[in-house]
Structure formats: structure tokens, C-alpha cells
Structure 1
Amino acid sequence: MRTVVELLAPVGSKEALLAALESGADAVYLGGKMFGARHYAPNFTDEELAEAVRQAHLRGISVYVTVNTLVDNGEMPLLIDYLHYLYQIGVDAIIVQDIGVACIARAVVPHLPIHASTQMTVHNLAGVQFLAEHGFTRAVLARELSLDDIAYICRHAPIEIETFIHGALCICYSGQCLMSSLIGGRSGNRGRCAQPCRLPYTLVDKEGRNVLEGRDAGEYLLSPKDLKTIEHIPRLIEAGVVSFKIEGRMKRPEYVAVVVDTYRRAIDAYLANKTNFTVSTQDHKDLAQIFNRDFTTAYLLGKEGRFMMSDRRPNNRGVRIGRVIDYLPREKTAVIRLDEPLALGDMVEFWVKVGGRVCTNVTSLKLQGQDVPEAPAGRAVAIPVPSPVRPGDRVFKTFDAKLMERARAFFNAGAPLRRIAVDAEVDVGEGRPLTITFTDVDGFRGAAATNFVAERAIKRPLTEETVKKQLERLGTTVFALRNLTCRIEGEAMVPLSEINEARRKAVEALEQARLSRYRRPDLSPRSITLEELCPPDKAARTKVKTELVVNVDTMEKLKAALIAGADWVLYGGETYTHRAITADEYRQAVELTRHYGRKIILNTPRLVKEWQMPGLRKELELFSELCPDAISVGNLGSLHIARTICSLPLHADFSFNIYNSAAVCFLVAQGVASLTLSPELNFGQIENIAGWGSAALECIVHGYLPLMVSEYCVVGSFIGGLHTGNCNQACRRGEYWLRDRMNEKFAVATDQFCRMHILNAKELSMLPHVMKFIQLGIDRIRIEAKTGDPAYVQRVTQLYRQLLDYGEAHPLLIKGDFSVVEHADITRGHYFRGVL
């Protein structure tokens, strides 16, 4: 069992970097100006990245750079240059989401370790094993896993496992969210998430009624609390987690300092004394004070339902410090009974019963009529307030001046706080230079000598005290003198300026010695292109007519699709009816499809946690027996297992986020025969991918696209009593939508695994543009038909069938008027606009 763990800190700015280095991080993760999933953080220029790596490596701290966005073909030359640069400056690893980027990195910088971002949605052991086979050295697990799942994966994983321990949570599985993208064009997969989960929503029924009215529920129904696991550090360590990751590259440096320092001390305390681990009340308060939306352990200990959600407030709520007991309108002063201390310079917020929030800086603090700099808990104090508040209103401290001052000391000191101890040896004698040798605690050495040859002293010969005084002047270096061994022969004299210069050179040599362990073999100077790395294999693609695929989850819809002319049906996986598909139904589906002379792909679940694995294996064995035309998989773990169980053709679904030709070529090499391209691609990007590799390419052209998939269920949490541990499955007794501020309604579907799927409010329709897909050489176009009844499936399938058959001669294309078959509330997705 590993007993040393890595504390990994988020760094979004130079100040945050210093805060992390000085507060106890073992490693930091940060991003450059390109290809990082936190585009709106300050991030680092290339020069700043190099200096960040140098500063961290001097301290023995690792640096991981985020290259964790989807990258299109046009960006590949920039990516390749960037990977070269990261390799050359010595970053310890890159964090990657895009499997195509990982493929490129392995080819152009083979000695640069690759970590799988949580955006890769790795949520089972099979996924970790797949990554290990393909050169990854670490996997960042999805935040939806339980402690038991984490421990199981760690026990069997062939590579390192990293988990999040603190900070903001995504309500959707990371890497699977299209909500920001399809609503506002800002893609979370491209680092520009607009955080629609932090906006207000109303849960409504078919008639548009608020079903939570009177149920004591807030309006931020998709906004989770922040993760906090400090009490569970022992269990995470014993589970075998290698790296503990703090979320927060968008947070201020004070946040980084406080959270890292608190977890550093907790980890060290447990490792030092495993039988007496406690976390102080003050540490809990500090974590809350620096930032919180209230706290949760997410899924570590089970599903918390509504208790996981910050439904009343989507942003920092501070720490409750008391209640208003009186308000003096003439003086505009509130009297507060304190539960916690309050001081000048703090900021407080009143949660008023009418009118929302009232905020103020504490510029004056009176205790029993006297001005005081601070007041303890249990006392009544008066502070000025700009707007009226009422007795009984709760008061929260959102800024603690003393805590912020302590936090800033980590990065505003002007000199390192955590220094590396060095021992010095000095040798000098008349007729030879003075030499200085520094040896640090890790055994690295640096030496230098004076240019001046020591002379016989006339007045003041060198003493050990004089030498020590000069050697202690290590200033802004990361070193601190611990021991000095000084050999002075005779009454030698060396100018102090010479000693100082030799000290500077010895420090520089020691720094170079410490940095030398990070040097890697030189790269080949020859440039390389995407075409060389993944040669287009157009000869391997046999051009056939574009075919029509319909994705369904019931036998009735499957039959409707076949009657209407679907060439392929995709059947199975998650159902939006909350009902599992039986083995007999799969058998009937294959038989019925064969009867119509068409082709069928049997689908597996998009997400497969460990408890689902036996079911997946059994399902794949059944599919092997039924011999469909292909099997669809939705995650790396399912791909890994399907390759071992089945010899049938495999299809990679859109959840793989296939955004470039490198990803296509990689999946083809894994035996994938067909794949669905990312719904975030535009026509220009699709054209650049089409014809690259032998796999059949598919694009989704119609239906209500799933924007989110989540282990959290809003219906079960707020109506079903999920927090009690026994959901009453209210989702089966009605249909529900989330209505946003713009009065758009997003359908809420729950599957047989009790996961929630939020569907787009607008229906994707590419009816007028079917010919474009044919012109681009796309092999299959797909209708998402799990929503709607069989009549809807038959009508839409028939429209696309006719357009494919008649082509430009179709009456609708001749007239150019699709209003008779399209309603007003449709979208063209990203096919024309693309994503940022």
C-alpha cells in the first residue's frame, strides 16, 4: 500500500503558483494560453510557463500542464509545436481529454508522460486498463465514483490514480456536457463553459406547473455544493489514491493557499499518526470561509439527492456568523448577535427575507457603544448597513480579513517561506582561492571558487563568523543555510565581494544540479505533420450511398423506423422509459430487422460503473450470440471489454468526443468500424475529417440531443425522496421539464440505471441540408428518436428517407421551403456556427 500521496494544487495565475508552492503542494497543474479547459483563467504565456516549471522544479515540485480540450485538424500544427515546447521546458506530464491529442503526443513527444483528464470520463477499471495499454501513466477518475469503486480501481490499476478531493463539482459527467455548447456556443470541451448549471430553473410538468411549489426547494436545481473530503483523507489514502487533486484554477490565490495548506497538514497528520486523525474545527471553518457553496462528499459515500445541491444559491455563501436582532433606520445600523468573531475589514452579507441580499464592508464595529477592532462570538455588535435589514435575518461573513492576510503571507512575503536546507563547506588558505560547496538535503551539490587568490591578512583575517554571515545571505533563493564547515588555513584575507560572488555561483550550480534530474533526451529537429502521423487512407474507404440510422429504445419505435425506411437501427443502451431491455427484446429486434432486410447495431450503456460490469459482460455475450451488424460502445472501458468478448464490428458513439482525424485513426486502429462524430463539429471541420481512415463516419442530424447525463436526478432528489435512501421513482409517474429564465423547457429523462438525461429544448433538424452530408461523403446520418412516439419516429424517418432517395429532385429542396415539415422551435446545432 502506497503511504506517500501527492497533493495537487490548481494554478490559474502567477500568484496562485506561488501560493501553491509555498503552502505545501507536491505538484501543480496549470495551463498555457492554448488548449486548456479553463480558458477564462489568466493562465500562462510560454515564457511564464518555463519560469513556472523552473521555480517548481527547484523545489522538487511537479508541474502538469493542461492540454485538455478537443482539438480540430486545423489546430494540429499549433498543438504539435506546443507539445514540443512543453517537452523542452521539462513539464512533468500533460493532462489530456482528446484521445487524438494523446495519440499525437505519443508520437511527437514520446518521453512526455500523459495523464487522462477527468474530461475523458474514465469511470471504471476497464477504462483505466485501456489507457494503460496506450501509454497513459495516470487516470483522473470521474467524480461520480464511490469510495468503494475508487478503492477497487486503485487495487487493480496498472497506472496511477488521481481523484478530486476539494472544490467545485460538475453536475454532468465531465466531458459529456453539451449544455453550454448547444445553448450558447461556448463549449466546455473547448475550455469555455458558461456554467448553465449555475442558473435558475423551474421543474415543471406537462401542463407547465411548478411541481416543487411548496416543497421548500430553491431554484438552482442543477447547482451542486462544493466537494470537501478532508474528513475522509484516511480512507482515500488507504484506498491507494496516488494524487489528491484540488479543483480551482479560476479561484484567487488566497483560496489556493488556504485549501492547500489545510489539506497538507491533514495529510501529514494522518501519515504521522494513523490512529489519532482529527481535523480541527478551525480548519473546517477556514475551508468554508475561503469559498463554499456549502459542502458535500458528492458520491463518495452514496447518493445524497437534494442534500448534494446548493439549490438556494449557486455562488459563495461565506460562513454564517449570526442573526440580526435589531435595525436602527435613522443610523442605518444593524445590531447582530454573533455566533462567530467579526473584525474590521471583514465583509458580510445579510440574507434578508424580502429583497435578496444586502452586502457591506465592516468599516465600523461597536461593542456596547464603543468602537472596537474586533468582537468575539456571543456578543452583540452594531455595524453600518447601506440598506434596511430585519430582525431574524441571517448574517454571513463572505470575506475574513485576518484569514486573507494569513493566506496572502504565503505569496506576498517577497522571499520563499519553504526553503531547502543546505550544508556548506568552505575551504581557504593563503595562496589559493576560497571555495564554497553547497550540499542540499536531497544530496545535490553546487560549488564555486573566488577569482581572487587569498592573501595574507594585514588587519582583519577571515573568521568562520565572517564567512557564515556572507553565506547566510541567501535572500530570494529557495535555500537556507543549515550547517557550515569552515577550514581556514593561516590568516587569510578574501574581499567580501569575492565571497558573495562565489556564493552566488555556488547557488547557481546547485540550482542547475537540482534541475538536471528533469532533463530529457533531445527531440528530433525535424517537423512533423498530422498527415505524417495519421496518413489519410482514402483508398480504404469504399464510397457507398449515404445511409440512414435511427436510434430507438423500444420495439414499437424500432418497427416504425424500419417501416419508414431506415437502413440501420441503433437499439438498446439507456432507455428513456426507465425500463431495461430484455434479452428476448434484443433477440426480437435482430429478427425483425433481418425480416426487413436492414442492419442493426445493438447498443451498450453510455456509462458503465463497476456495479454494471457483470451486466455489460452478459449483454455482450448475448450480442455475440445474436450477431447484429455491429455493437455500439460509449466509453473506453466498454470498448476495452467489447474487444475481448466480441468479434463483431464495433461502433464508437458520439460520447467519445471524436473531433479530429487523429482520434478517428486511433479508434480505427482499435478495431472500430464506424463512429459518430462530435455534435460540436461544423461542416468545415467535418469536411477536413471525412475520408480520413477506413471507418464509416456518422453524423447526428435530427432529434432532441442529450445535453447532460448525470448520476444526480432532479426528480428523484426533490420529489422522490432520494436523500432518504429509498427513492419512490416519481419519474415513472409523470413527465418533467426544466424551464429556464428564457422560458425554454428542457426535457428530463431517466434511464433504467436511475441516471438523469437533460435533453435540448430545441429539436435538431438538418432536413434542408441532407445533401451537404452526401457531398461531404458522410456514410451515415442519424436520427435520435428515443424521444417521441412511434408515429413521430415513422414521420421523421420517412422524411429523411425520401430526401436521401430523391436528392436534389425532392419537392421540398426544389421549393426551398421546409416550413411545412419543420416547426419553429428547431436548431441547426453547430453545423454552421461551430463552437468557441
Structure 2
Amino acid sequence: MVELLAPAGSKEALIAAIESGANAIYLAGNMFGARAYADNFDEEGMREAIRIAHLRNVLINVTVNTIVDDQELPQLADYLRFLYEAGADAILVQDLGVAKLAREIVPDLPLHASTQMTVHNLDGVLALQKLGFTRVVLSREVSLEAIKHIIDNCDVEIEVFIHGALCVCYSGQCLMSSMIGGRSGNRGRCAQPCRLPYTLVDEHDNDMLKDTAGKYLLSPRDMNAIDLIPQLIDAGVASLKIEGRMKRPEYVGIVVNNYRQVIDSHYAGNFHVTDKTRHDLAQVFNRDFTTAFLEKKQGRNMMSDRRPNNRGIMLGRVMEYDSATGFVTMKLSDSLSVGDQVDFWVKVGGRVTATVKDLHIVKGGKNRNLVPVEQAPSGSVVSFPVESRVFEHDRAFKVYDAPLMEWAKCFYNTGSPVRRVSVDVSVSAAVGEPLVISMIDGDGYKGEGRTDFIGQEAIKRPLSEETIHKQVSRLGTSIFELRNLECHIRGNVMVPVSEINEARRKAVEMLEYQRLSKYERKPIPNNTTALNKAKIKKRVQAGITAVVDTMELLQSALFAGADWVVFGGESYHHDAIIPMQYEKAVYMAHKAGAKIAFNTPRIIRNHELQGFHTWLRTVASYKPDAINVHNIGSLAAVRELTDIPVHADYSLVSYNFKTLQYLVELGVEAVTLSPELTLAQVEKLAKESDMPLSCIVDGNMELMVSEYCATGSFIGGLHTGQCSAPCVNSGKKFFLKDRKDVKFPLVMDQYCHMHVLNGNRLSMLPHAMKFGAMGISQLRIEARYMSADQLKKTIANYKKYMAFDGELSDREKAAAEVLEGDNITRGHYFRGVE
């Protein structure tokens, strides 16, 4: 049977998930989890959570899915040992360094690949399978067809998201929160810039949408795959995952309960989704719903462009508003209760929110009568006070349903379990013997309790089956409930009620112990070498690498004296790069005395793998000096299909020395470090690794790569099934402009992925001389958004400033700043990330 996997950001949510029917729960401790702002669990809370879940045969998967800094690794090692000893059933990881450390510290603890690993095709799944991962959480962008193909061709479990919030960027590839706000999604502190308003403009600042769309152009609807449960189960998905560790426990209980019912209906052979299920899922939280990319690209129909937060259930339109009393009158299209919260979408002034404190049903016509009620059914005309002005015909939405939320509290606040484990109980008692209570549950686990008291001949009231039943059935806050009782009473025996209760307690305690025994872990030796580092590396003579995607940019880079060029991959100009161009690029680079790496696409859809493999075999014959890879699947494919050296790009996040160690083991010969590192962190890593390392020092950094395309969705008619390709055919450049009038360039590659670039160009020109002194081999320029002339000047400037020895004078700094121009950023080299 498929696993229903629920989120828990608090103990209350954990209980709600268990009681509403989850088979497994994912949660985080106070460290290393990708939802750092959830309540999460301290060590004592984690032990208790695992015990509570295991008693019910519910698994606990712990998220350790942030990238980790070197100085955090000793603490992480201790945490991994703790999780193993506490009985966690698996850990989810993003960072390859964390995976390596876990293999060395707790080799028997199952590893799950987090969606933050951006595994989106069969190559990635098979690569992780070979590395010992037991489960892979696929990117949300993978289609149902691709999911089935992956499952049919791998031996690891596949986990798929089915409900909750969606990231607009491929998870694990987003730098937008950290670059513009200093809060890293890769470190669990995403500030959700995708939920902010943006305007789609061209290079002349013309609003391309005006009133034809809302402003929330990066805000997806929530995923709801309730109707696709049969297809997902039949495809062989091992685990169906609900998003929501930041959500309240009522949300968890309602969503899990409804999916539990629908999944069970499928296995019972009568799959159905009730109107109540649809209503409750929408009421508890929705930004409108979508199946995202499971079925097809939905264009603008996937986006919640008018509202980035909960829109609730449509309640009706305002019939009238009495400004003297502040009462609104409306006809309901859904029920309304005292305690509900209503949002009015007013014509002027945005949103008005009101909590219903005084509700009346309107009776009669001219001489209308207001009847006070606690709840009004759909179809009623009602009146209630609203503190702010609303207008006739304004739409109203119920965003908080008080009765529903009150009902949902029963999943976690009753003090007693909702879903219990049935037990069969046998009780024997006789004069001269202790009373014995034996319990056995449906899984075959047994518990037994005996009285210290020896049965005596009864003088007045002998022990009866009725008395035994009354005491034994009092299982209280334990997870058990009495199903069958057999009593074997021999003679007129007397046993005190307190003794019966104590024997019951002992039987329950033993039964709980037996149920938990299967989760016990063997002790593990303490690995004292896992955190050992390589020898210190000294200063190197650094070179310049230029990343280019056209022959013109390639020629400019070589003319300016670049030592390495990274050519090809995803084109910012939406042009297909043909094999002949790769062959010519090698000739040009080697003739200029430079080295060349062929770039690979950052995202390779599953149906594109065959073409990618053919391309690899073809271009390998041109003998480039390296192939540059962006994900674990591409790395494995290059190693398997070619003998060309492999370089790992920054999207294969290298943030600590354990990751660098692992990449060496995987056959990588050079690495571009994460742009979220500070200079101090870079220096430390450079000293700890013998591998050639690169740092990005210039260019418009990619903040997002997305399967969703804003221009295709809102201008190109993508939702109709056919995109008019405005990115190519309009002759325009497009930008997303934020509230502060900062423009983020949009580029669409030849595979129709949208790349959101930073509007401020990264520049480390005044600090160029520092990198070689630290041991960095290559200073990398992201040139795909530059002109050929700009690239020439940029390389020349860096060559000049790399030659400086020591700190610049004030005059030299000022000269460098003039060369840099306006709208530049130092990235994270000095400020770091949260």
C-alpha cells in the first residue's frame, strides 16, 4: 500500500497527522531543516515524537536538507548520531557533503534525497541509487508519464508531492531570497520573494499586461492532486507527500484525513472524491488549485497572480452596505458561522477582513427582520458588521471556517487517541494464584501483567466478568482499545480493583515495549576520521574563466585572453547550439591557447535524456578539456558515457569540504563553489581541498530556473496548449519589475525554461587579487547576458586587477568602481547568508 506522508512543524501537527491517518511523517529538529521558521523539535521532543509515531507503526523521516557550513559539521555529526540512536527511520538530505558524512557516521540510517537535490530525471535517480540512497523525492516539475518511466526503471522508492504550496523555481536552484534579502532557501530561511508583486515590462519599461493579469507573476497556485491518486498509485509511487510544515495542526489533520479517505476508497475498488472533500481542502487553505506539471504545462492557469495567499471559499457578493451601522448584507453561496473570517475584495483599497461576531439572517422584504443566529446556511441572506467600508457587488471569501477548524482540533487536543489499536485480552484468576492479564494486538505483539496480590477466597463479592471488563477496558490515554475479552475465573476469587488496574498497566507497558522493539538500533562505533581534512593548499596563479553561449562571445573571451571558456548548454538567446559549433569552439579555444569545457543544460527533462546521451557521445569525440555538469544525474552520465574530465558547477552545491571530498570520489576534477559563501568561507575551503576551485566574480547571476514561463503564460497563450513564443518573436527583452522598481531580466533558453537573473551585476573587481592568494584557481565571469564588447572589457579589467599585490589604494579602488559602473553587487562575499 502506498505511504501517505504528512508534514509536522509542531507536536500538535504531529499528533494531528497520526490521528488523521498518515503512514509516515516528515519533520525537522532545531537544526539543518529547510523550514527553519517552523516550531520544529528539540532533542527531547524528537525522541517523544519518534516514540509516539512508532507505537502506531508510523514512520518518522527527519529533514536534514540544508546546505551546511564547515564549522557546522561537528555539530551535524553529533546530530546524526542522535537521530540514529533516537530511532529516526530516515533522513532527507540536499547537501552531498551531508550524505557523505551520514554514510560515515551512521551507515545504517536510510538516506532519502530531498526535492532540494533537484532530481528530475532517471539519470539522477539511478545515480543516487548507486550511492546508496533508498528513496528519491522527485522535483515537482516531473510529469506523471515521466514518474512512471522512472519507477519502471529504478530500484529505489519514489516520493512525489501531491498537495500544498509550490515553488516557482526548481527546488534547490533558487538564489532569489538570498541574493535580494540575505535569507537563503538552501539554508532553510526562504523569505518567499516569489509571493511578492511584480510587473512584466519590456526594455522600455512598458507594462506588458496592464489590467489583463494580477501582479503576483511568480506566485503559483497550491498543488491538489486528489483526482490523480489512482494514476499515482498505479504508477508505483511509494510515498505521496503533503507539503506544509509551516501550517497549523488543523490544516494537517483536515488534509491528511481527506487524502486518507480517498486513498482507501481507491484500494477498496470504489475510488471517489466527495464534494465535502473538495470543499474542506479548499476551505482550509488554497491559492486556488493546480496539478502543476503532473499532466501538462498549464501556463497562466497554474498561477495565483491575483492573490499570493489563502483565498478561501467564495461566499457571495455584497448586496448593500449601511455606512451608518457598518452592517453588510449579502446572499450566501456557502455557510457562514459566528467566528468565521471573511475577506472582501473591494474595488477601492485592496482587501477588507472581518471576523463574524454578530450574525443575522435577514427575513422579510421592506420591513425586514434580523434574526440572530450562530450559523446561516448557504442560500441565506445575512447581515453582519464590518469595520471598514465595502461596496455593492464586492466579492467576499470565507478564509477561516470556525466550525471546521474546531472539528479539526479533535485530531490533536482531546488528550486521548482518535485512531486506536485493537487488542484481544485474556484474563485468568483463581484462588491462590495471581491475576494475569494478557494482551495481543493485530500485529501479533503481546503484553502481560500479573498482580502481586494472590487471589483469595471471596467472603462477600467474588470477582466477576463484569468487573474485569470494566477495569480492563479503561485503557485511557494509551493507544489501545479493547476488542475481545476472555475471562477464566476459577472459584469464588477476590482480587482488589487497584491490583487489576496495576496488572492492566503492566500489560499495556509490555505491549508498548514489544511494539517499539522492532525499531531498536544496534550501537554504532564513533568514527573519529570523518571530519579529517586535506593538507593546506598554498597560493596559486589564478586564471579567468568565461561562461558563454554564442560563437561571438566565445571569440571575445578568447581575444581578451580568457584561460578557460565554458561553452554551450542553455542558451540565453533561445538558440539551439549544434554539434558543429562545439567542434569549432574546441578548435578556436585550443588555437588561442585556452582550455574549453562544454556546458550541459542545468535541467534535462526525462524525455530529453536520450538526446542528451547522444549529444554526450558526439561531443566527446571533439576532445574538450572538460564537461561542465549541473546535477548528479549529468555527472553520472558523463562519467559513464565519456572519458572527458568532469567539472561541477555551482548548482551542484559545494558549500563544505565534505562535499568537495565526495565530488572527488565521484570523479570530479574541478568545482565552482557556491555563490552563497563569504570570502572567509571560500578561503577556508580553498585551503582544505587540493581540487582546483572556481569562484563566480562577475555577471548577472541566475536567481531562478523555472519550468514556468511568465511571458509564455501571460503573453504567449501557453494555457491554450500552444505558445506563440513572444520571447523570440516579439523582438523584445523582458523583465520583472518589483515594488522598488528593480528590474530582473528574464531569459528563455532553447528548452523553454525561464531564467530569472539578478538586475544588479555581481562584481568583485576591486577584490580580484584576493582569490589567487586564497588558493582559488579560476575567477569565473558569467557572460551569457553580456555583449561581446562588455565581455572583452570585463576580462581586461580583471586581468589588470588580478595582477595587483595586496590591498588597493583609495585611488585604485575609486578607479575600479568607475570601471564597474552602476547597479553592481558584491553578492554574499562580505555579507553572507542566514
- What TM-score comes out, normalization by structure 2 length? 0.97
Aligned equivalent of 2:745 = 747
**Closer/same/farther in 2, CA of residues 35 and 596 from structure 1, 3 Å limit:** same
2:818 maps to amino acid = V
Aligned equivalent of 1:145 = 142
| Residues 371-392 of structure 1: CA deviation (Å, up to 9, x unaligned) | 1222222221111111222221
- Would the aligned equivalents of 1:77 and 1:529 in 2 still touch at CA under 8 Å? no
How far does residue 7 in structure 1 lie from its aligned partner after superposition? 0.4
Give the whole-Å Cα distance in 2 for the aligned partners of 1:9 and 1:485.
Answer: 38
2:275 counterpart of 1:281 = yes
Give the whole-Å Cα distance in 2 for the aligned partners of 1:814 and 1:516.
Answer: 70
Give the whole-Å Cα distance in 2 for the aligned partners of 1:746 and 1:834.
Answer: 21
Give the whole-Å Cα distance in 2 for the aligned partners of 1:582 and 1:806.
Answer: 40
Give the whole-Å Cα distance in 1 for the aligned partners of 2:506 and 2:447.
Answer: 8
2:58 maps to amino acid = I
| Residues 511-559 of structure 1: CA deviation (Å, up to 9, x unaligned) | 00000000111122x3635433xx4155xx7974111100001000011
How far does residue 408 in structure 1 lie from its aligned partner after superposition? 0.8
1:94 maps to amino acid = I
How many residue pairs match? The answer is 825
2:643 to 640, 644, 647: 647
| Residues 302-359 of structure 1: CA deviation (Å, up to 9, x unaligned) | 1111111000010001100111112222221111111111122211111111111111
2:313 to 319, 340, 347: 319
SS in 2 for 1:371: strand
SS in 2 for 1:623: helix
**Closer/same/farther in 2, CA of residues 678 and 188 from structure 1, 3 Å limit:** same
Give the whole-Å Cα distance in 2 for the aligned partners of 1:683 and 1:372.
Answer: 65
**Closer/same/farther in 2, CA of residues 639 and 719 from structure 1, 3 Å limit:** same
2:621 to 610, 618, 625: 625
Give the whole-Å Cα distance in 2 for the aligned partners of 1:63 and 1:353.
Answer: 48
**Closer/same/farther in 2, CA of residues 401 and 531 from structure 1, 3 Å limit:** closer
Give the whole-Å Cα distance in 2 for the aligned partners of 1:436 and 1:808.
Answer: 82
| Residues 69-89 of structure 1: CA deviation (Å, up to 9, x unaligned) | 000110011000000100011
**Closer/same/farther in 2, CA of residues 250 and 212 from structure 1, 3 Å limit:** same
Aligned equivalent of 1:481 = 482
1:743 maps to amino acid = D
Alignment of 1:73-88 (within 5 A): 73-88=70-85
SS in 2 for 1:593: helix
Give the whole-Å Cα distance in 2 for the aligned partners of 1:406 and 1:151.
Answer: 37
Alignment of 1:446-525 (within 5 A): 446-524=447-525
Give the whole-Å Cα distance in 1 for the aligned partners of 2:448 and 2:308.
Answer: 56
1:355 maps to amino acid = G
How far does residue 466 in structure 1 lie from its aligned partner after superposition? 0.9
Aligned equivalent of 1:34 = 31
**Closer/same/farther in 2, CA of residues 815 and 179 from structure 1, 3 Å limit:** closer
Give the whole-Å Cα distance in 2 for the aligned partners of 1:333 and 1:605.
Answer: 59
**Closer/same/farther in 2, CA of residues 350 and 263 from structure 1, 3 Å limit:** same
- Would the aligned equivalents of 1:5 and 1:237 in 2 still touch at CA under 8 Å? yes
Give the whole-Å Cα distance in 2 for the aligned partners of 1:747 and 1:604.
Answer: 22
SS in 2 for 1:655: coil
Give the whole-Å Cα distance in 2 for the aligned partners of 1:694 and 1:611.
Answer: 37
| Residues 14-47 of structure 1: CA deviation (Å, up to 9, x unaligned) | 1111100100000001111000100000111110
- Would the aligned equivalents of 2:61 and 2:92 in 1 still touch at CA under 8 Å? yes
1:580 maps to amino acid = A
Aligned equivalent of 1:303 = 297
Aligned equivalent of 2:251 = 255
SS in 2 for 1:313: coil
Give the whole-Å Cα distance in 2 for the aligned partners of 1:240 and 1:701.
Answer: 45
- Would the aligned equivalents of 1:812 and 1:818 in 2 still touch at CA under 8 Å? no
**Closer/same/farther in 2, CA of residues 328 and 775 from structure 1, 3 Å limit:** same
Give the whole-Å Cα distance in 2 for the aligned partners of 1:428 and 1:683.
Answer: 76
2:94 to 89, 94, 97: 97
- What TM-score comes out, normalization by structure 1 length? 0.97
Aligned equivalent of 1:761 = 759
Greater Cα shift, 379-388 or 585-594? 379-388
1:61 maps to amino acid = V
| Residues 631-690 of structure 1: CA deviation (Å, up to 9, x unaligned) | 011111111111111101000101011111111010111110011110001122122211
- Would the aligned equivalents of 1:570 and 1:603 in 2 still touch at CA under 8 Å? yes
2:224 to 223, 228, 231: 228
- Would the aligned equivalents of 2:538 and 2:774 in 1 still touch at CA under 8 Å? no
- Would the aligned equivalents of 2:290 and 2:302 in 1 still touch at CA under 8 Å? yes
- Would the aligned equivalents of 2:598 and 2:628 in 1 still touch at CA under 8 Å? yes
How far does residue 125 in structure 1 lie from its aligned partner after superposition? 0.8
Give the whole-Å Cα distance in 2 for the aligned partners of 1:77 and 1:336.
Answer: 61
Give the whole-Å Cα distance in 2 for the aligned partners of 1:155 and 1:256.
Answer: 31
2:198 counterpart of 1:204 = no
**Percent identity at matched positions?**
53
How far does residue 810 in structure 1 lie from its aligned partner after superposition? 8.4
Give the whole-Å Cα distance in 2 for the aligned partners of 1:812 and 1:624.
Answer: 48
Give the whole-Å Cα distance in 2 for the aligned partners of 1:101 and 1:792.
Answer: 40
Aligned equivalent of 2:599 = 603
Alignment of 1:296-445 (within 5 A): 296-367=290-361, 368=363, 369-445=370-446
Aligned equivalent of 2:581 = 585
Aligned equivalent of 1:785 = 783
| Residues 430-459 of structure 1: CA deviation (Å, up to 9, x unaligned) | 112111111011100111211111111111
Aligned equivalent of 2:724 = 728
| Residues 46-74 of structure 1: CA deviation (Å, up to 9, x unaligned) | 10000000000000000011101000110
Structure 2: state its 5+ residue gaps: 364-369
Greater Cα shift, 148-157 or 250-259? 148-157
| Residues 729-775 of structure 1: CA deviation (Å, up to 9, x unaligned) | 10112101111111111100110000000001111101111122111
Give the whole-Å Cα distance in 2 for the aligned partners of 1:424 and 1:158.
Answer: 42
2:125 counterpart of 1:128 = yes
- Would the aligned equivalents of 1:624 and 1:646 in 2 still touch at CA under 8 Å? yes
How far does residue 605 in structure 1 lie from its aligned partner after superposition? 0.4
2:566 counterpart of 1:570 = yes
Give the whole-Å Cα distance in 2 for the aligned partners of 1:565 and 1:328.
Answer: 75
Give the whole-Å Cα distance in 2 for the aligned partners of 1:146 and 1:111.
Answer: 32
SS in 2 for 1:497: helix
How far does residue 802 in structure 1 lie from its aligned partner after superposition? 2.3
SS in 2 for 1:164: strand
Give the whole-Å Cα distance in 2 for the aligned partners of 1:815 and 1:152.
Answer: 56
| Dislocated runs of 4+, deviation >6 Å | 809-813
Aligned equivalent of 1:528 = 528
SS in 2 for 1:818: helix
- Would the aligned equivalents of 2:24 and 2:58 in 1 still touch at CA under 8 Å? yes
**Closer/same/farther in 2, CA of residues 464 and 648 from structure 1, 3 Å limit:** same
How far does residue 816 in structure 1 lie from its aligned partner after superposition? 5.8
How far does residue 808 in structure 1 lie from its aligned partner after superposition? 4.8
2:548 counterpart of 1:552 = yes
Give the whole-Å Cα distance in 2 for the aligned partners of 1:278 and 1:507.
Answer: 38
Give the whole-Å Cα distance in 1 for the aligned partners of 2:528 and 2:295.
Answer: 48
How far does residue 617 in structure 1 lie from its aligned partner after superposition? 0.9
